[in-house]
């Protein structure tokens, strides 16, 4: 249920897509520079925001939806289990919708 509710992109920090992380980092750098703060402070800001990014997209770093406080990694650890993978399915995902040109179909049927 947690995976369905929060839609994580990765199981752990090490498995986050490097391209997605770099895109996020570049956006955060740009936003921080627009604030006009010194570079040392910008670096700290980016570190904190990257941690927040991980909390949003990494399953084991997310706050468990059942209690709103505990991290999923702690819940799994407390249960004495080890989470090695997850799959998320979404209704309609992967189904290609056929597109057609209705006007062309009508013209073809009419013999034009």
Instruction: Walk along the chain (112 residues) in steps of 10 and give the mean pLDDT of each run.
Output: 90 96 93 87 92 96 92 94 87 76 83 66
* Domain residue spans of the chain: 2-110
The DSSP code sequence of the chain is: -HHHHH--SBSSGGGS-HHHHHHHHHHHHHHHHHTT--HHHHHHHHHHHHHHHHHHHBGGGSBPTTTSSSBHHHHHHHTT----------TTTTPPPP---HHHHHHHHHT-
pLDDT of residue 16: 96
Task: Please give the model's pTM, rounded to 2 decimal places.
Answer: 0.73
């Amino acid at each position: 249920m947690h995976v369905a509710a929060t839609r994580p992109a990765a199981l752990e920090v090490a498995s986050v897509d490097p391209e997605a992380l770099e895109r996020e980092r570049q956006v955060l750098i740009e936003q921080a520079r627009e604030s006009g703060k010194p570079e040392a402070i910008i670096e700290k800001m980016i570190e904190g925001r990257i941690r927040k990014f991980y909390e949003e997209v990494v399953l084991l770093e997310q706050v468990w939806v059942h209690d709103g406080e505990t991290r999923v990694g702690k819940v799994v650890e407390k249960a004495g289990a080890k989470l090695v993978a997850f799959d998320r399915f979404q209704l309609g995902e992967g189904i290609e919708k056929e597109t057609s040109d209705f006007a062309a179909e009508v013209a073809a049927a009419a013999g034009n």
